[in-house]
Structure 1
Amino acid sequence: MIGKQLKPNFIFEASWEVCNKVGGIYTVLSSRAQTLLKEYGNKLIFLGPDVWQGKNNPDFIEDKKLLKNWREAAAKEGVNVRIGRWQVEGKPIAVLVDFQPFFEQRNSIYRTVWQNFGVQSDKAYGDYDEASMFSYAAARFVEIIYLSLIHKNKKVVYQAHEWMAGLGMLHLCKAAPSIATIFTTHATSIGRSITSNNKQLYKYFHGYNGDQMAEELHMDAKHSVEKQSAHFADCFTTVSTFTDKECAQLLEKSADVILPNGFDNAIVPKGSAFTAKRKAARKNLLRVASALLSEELFDSTMIVSTSGRNDFRCKGFDVFLQAMANLNSELQRQSTENCKTSVLALIEVPCWMKEPRKDLQQRLAEKEIPNTALPNPYLTHELYNEGEDAILNTMRSLSLMNDRNNPVKVILLPCYLDGEDGIINKPYYEVLLANDLCIYPSYYEPWGYTPLEACAFKIPCITTDLSGFGQWVDATLKHRGMIENGVEVLHRNDDNYFDVAQNICNTTIKVLNANKTIRNKMRKNAAALADKAQWNNFIKYYYQAYNFALSKKLK
């Protein structure tokens, strides 16, 4: 019974993405904060890296009066922090940790975690040192506060997200063993690495050994800290039953509690505000596309998009582009006259961006659209590596160059949609509103926030059963999701790449040809599914995890 569960007096959550938007974990933490604050208020503290020193951080406002005694106590022990409020719904307390001073101690720190937990930090490279020093500094802060300022009878939970926060959590297991620890993996480092290296994860799944693959793929340190964190935490969690199987196979540890990712509808505009923002977003995107193409795109144009972290294969951007090529060919065949643009397909993926295009900015400032398309009329911002970018090269190979006779126009938006990119100048959630259909054909997706976000904003979407969200949709509906349900869940495996692309093409045509009544029903059903995935419905699993971890301390 929930009423009999043990509840923490303090919750500390450590993640590289606290006040630092990098990927989906930022959304997990920031969207959940409001729900947890109702129960815990200022006893919920997020810990993140102070990577914005000397720069304006739009996510964080420092408050030097807030927990001043904590900041001073930590500083006396050599841990410097800034304490303030994370600028998301609820404005929870955030502690940004300066981890730079610990680099000179890293050999000693690594030696200790090797002796105590067998973590193989000696084979580290890349971002391992940076993440580990943050992780250690965050844990030292909590250790200092717990031992000096929090009464020993208080129940404290420390939740570490991903391998990037694991080393610090392991430190606490020895330094403050009465703190209940939770380790959450959102995607195993080895599972992601297998797929990113173009290996077949699913066909040979039960033949993979995590330690062996870590050595082969030079992932020894990250895999080691992740695996040991999973085994030594009081409670090990992951985000879906799908990823739980991956953890059992590659980390040799099943999750103690599954923590599905929810959403908070508070950020979704309501009523007339929703309609106005959607209309404005569509007008803006169609105007940008028209300026690039020198072709007026009307409001009847169907807008589709895909988005996410720049992981070409895992996120299914390759399949998305193949589907758009199929769609372009199919619509050309169906047309009996000169093709006009029917579909505007957007790829909203941060790339190695140099700057917004000056020629596009100039054209957007003009009242009338010239007759001549701009060079590269498929790209809104300049890239440093335009000739090597996987998305652009695939577009070229599929002849998705936005020729006049192409009814499908594909445009890459290679920037963070933060509202200040110089071309779109609207944040991601406002851009999302413009869509008629969102497409996320993931190959590797432990959960899948992008389709859930689309549903919350009343956008029907396509995903696959290789995503945790896709599997949740099927389980919730008790049958495979179809686009009429608001979410179409396509079966995907190692061998049906072209079948998936064609199915996306077919479904897009179905939505394109649907009348307003049918489309509105799809939108309504998408929103209804998102309502079932609200944090109010999923937060109980976190309470179960707190209880599980705290119960370990009573044994």
Structure 2
Amino acid sequence: MINKLINPDYVFEASWEVCNKVGGIYTVLSTRAKTLQEKYHDKIIFIGPDVWNEKQSPYFIENENLCKDWRISAKNNEDLTFKVGRWNIPGSPIAVLVDFKNFYKDKDLIYGKMWEDFNVDSLHSYGDYDESSMFSYASGKIVESFYKFYLSDENKVVFQAHEWMTGMGALYIKKNLPQVATIFTTHATSIGRSIAGNNKPLYDNLNYFNGDQMAYELNMEAKHSIEKQTAHNVDCFTTVSQITDNECKALLDKPADVILMNGFEDDFVPSGSEFTKRRRDARKVMLNVANKLMGTELKDDTLIICTSGRYEFKNKGIDLYIESLNQLSNSGELGDREILAFITVPAWCGAPRKELIERIENDDKSNESLYKPFITHSLNNMNEDRILGMFNYLGINNSKNSKVKYIFVPCYLDGNDGVINLSYYDFIIGADLTVYPSYYEPWGYTPLESVAFHIPTITTDLAGFGLWSETLKGKENTIESGVKVVHRSDFNYFDAAKEVKDTILQFYRLSDDDVKKTRTNATRISEKALWKHFITYYYEAYDIALNNAYNRLNK
């Protein structure tokens, strides 16, 4: 089937997260790049914001000789400033980092033209709207410049824009370079995320919401407008899961042409003795940090559970994770084996706790706990933090007689946080089980990464990954299958928490042999989400976009 599809000669992809590690989209792009680079051989070009200025980016290797003539010409003749080099990831694709500050002086004219051409309403913009839009517009100008310098109408070219932050670039290209086929990918609708984040019942009322009305009510008119107009005007509109496509139909009045599910490459997962070593090292760090915080002596067989992701307390299910563990702690159903539950969510983090570092460095085996023995770093908003607030409300204080102990790591795990000092992947490999009971989760990379590291996971049917895993034939919905999918709705919070609690208890009681089988099943699920399987949907999107662009130009 793929051989019959129209294949582009060049593909440009613009995203705020190109060479800029912010969230899940970085993982989507960076893990997929190798597959596309192997197919297109430097004809796949990523465009990102130059947020580093004079600093050296760890994600970007500049090459001043790459496309040198074009870069000089664009600067001298078009007043475009950008760097060309390679993204420092597997595959090393070409990346262009754009300095977009020069466009701020013209933003009112740019917004006026967007209103005139596409009815994009920028009047109610605020926050990051201007920054994102100027980058987006500059990205469109970059593609236009490259095309005119190197290419011609003989070349089949695709431009893919990710999220509302790059929509303006796609619209600019449609207007000024109509021979380039445009794709727009929304990874989460701005209105859907806002409705969920404002504690409104998104799912029960989805078909009754009016996206434009909700944008007005939630003060999201500008972002919603660019997102909706881009979805309606590009040659191919895509999203990342069926559950998000339902949002698009209801809130953007536009279903996706193709669903581009998020895969990954497994080349970052160690194997054999290296896997065993890293897992052992991670568990040693986890237990040591916990023991130094709490003055305990947790045994090697402690069941280690983790959740992680962005600090979206409700949307990511952080509240439900704590609630389910609290139910388990108070149930009286646990045996002698203890549970250590990590929450690795970047918050408004201050410095690593000095007294904790001193205990770790001195290998202090004191049996006295530190003050607040459940957090590794100070917070700048300690009294307003929602995780600590829930700990306080539930009376969670890691008392000696509690079988469930909690550790909140409120910083990015980049290997240099001062306490854990492991990267996220080198940390998560030590877990026995992960829990991601999301309420709003268009896809869900964290549970996918978990099973890739042979760690069984609990997710929900409100997560794209959870829905996808349910479609796998022959997989029962139990933790022994590798992925347990819990039912969540707008109003079943405590029932869902109980189901998570029961699933953790079920895993807690598994024999060693059953745990091994469960870990194997988790790995098998992850293998079905490799990019070599999911990349075909991108080829389909390229084909649709190129066909629609051709038909549009030849009416």
The interval holding the TM-score normalised by the smaller chain is over 0.9
Contact 2:211/2:252 (8 A) holds in 1: yes
CA contact (8 A) 1:297 1:341 kept: no
Question: Cα distance, 1:463 vs. partner?
Answer: 0.4
> What SS class does the counterpart of residue 340 from structure 2 fall into?
strand
Partner of 1:175: 176
1: CA distance, partners of 2:403 / 2:74: 61
- Which structure 2 segments of 5+ residues have no match? none
Q: 2:13 is matched with which residue?
A: 13
Letter in 2 for 1:545: A
Q: What is the alpha-carbon distance in structure 2 between the residues aligned to residue 408 and residue 102 of structure 1?
A: 54
Which shows bigger deviation, 192-201 or 371-380? 371-380
Q: What does residue 213 of structure 1 align with?
A: 214
Deviations 1:57-84 (CA, angstroms, capped at 9, x unpaired): 2111111112212322321211111111
Match of 2:121 in 1: 120
CA–CA separation in structure 1 for the residues paired with 2:399 and 2:104: 53
Q: CA deviation at 1:341?
A: 6.7
Once residues 163 and 474 of structure 1 are traced to their aligned partners in structure 2, the CA distance between those partners, rounded to angstroms, is 29
CA contact (8 A) 1:341 1:406 kept: no
Mapped to 1, the partners of 2:12 and 2:266 lie a distance apart of 24
* Residue of structure 1 in register with 2:205 after alignment: 204
Is it true that 1:146 corresponds to 2:182 in the alignment? no
2-structure distance, mates of 1:342, 1:399: 18
Q: Partner residue of 1:164?
A: 165
User: Match for residue 526 of structure 2?
Assistant: 530
Check whether the contact 1:341–1:409 (CA below 8 A) recurs between aligned residues. Answer: no
Runs of 4+ aligned residues of structure 1 deviating over 4 Å after TM superposition are none
How far did 1:55 drift?
A: 2.5
- 1:149-189 residue CA offsets vs partner (Å, 9 max, x unmatched): 22331111100000011011111111111010000000000
Indicate which of 366, 371, 376 corresponds to 2:367. Answer: 371
Q: CA deviation at 1:479?
A: 6.0
In the TM superposition, what is the alpha-carbon distance from 1:478 to its structure 2 partner? 5.9
Instruction: Determine the C-alpha separation between the residues in 2 that align with 1:364 and 1:541.
Output: 49
Q: What CA deviation, in whole Å up to 9, does each residue of 1:116-143 have, x standing for no partner?
A: 0001111100111111111111111111
Q: Secondary structure at the match of 1:181?
A: strand
Aligned mates of 1:115, 1:502 — CA distance in 2? 53
Tell me the residue number matched to 1:59: 59
TM value normalised by structure 2: 0.97
The Cα of 1:248 is off from its aligned counterpart by: 0.6
1:21-420 alignment runs, 5 A limit: 21-76=21-76, 77-331=78-332, 334=334, 342-420=338-416
Task: Say whether 1:541 aligns with 2:534.
Answer: no
Q: Distance in 2 between matches of 1:212 and 1:246?
A: 15
Distance (whole Å) between structure 1 residues aligned to residue 418 and residue 91 of structure 2 = 29
Q: Supply the distance in 2 between the matched residues of 1:290 and 1:88 (Cα, whole angstroms).
A: 36
Identity between Structure 1 and Structure 2 (%): 51
Within the alignment, does 1:457 sit opposite 2:458 as a pair? no
Aligned partners of 1:353 and 1:415 also within 8 Å: yes
Check whether the contact 1:452–1:469 (CA below 8 A) recurs between aligned residues: yes
1:430 equivalent to 2:431? Answer no
In structure 2, distance between residues paired with 1:271 and 1:66:
39
The 1-side partners of 2:25 and 2:224 are apart by: 19
CA apart distance, 1:20: 0.9
The one-letter code of the counterpart of 1:375 is Y
Deviations 1:428-464 (A, max 9, x none): 1111101100000010111111111101110000000
Please list every run of 5 or more consecutive structure 1 residues that lacks an aligned counterpart in the other structure.
none
The amino acid of 1:49's aligned partner reads P
Given the two structures, how large is their TM-score scaled by the length of structure 1? Answer: 0.97
Contact 1:341–1:408 (8 Å) recurs in 2: no
Tell whether the 8 Å contact from 1:419 to 1:425 is kept in structure 2 after alignment. Answer: yes
SS of the residue aligned with 2:459?
strand
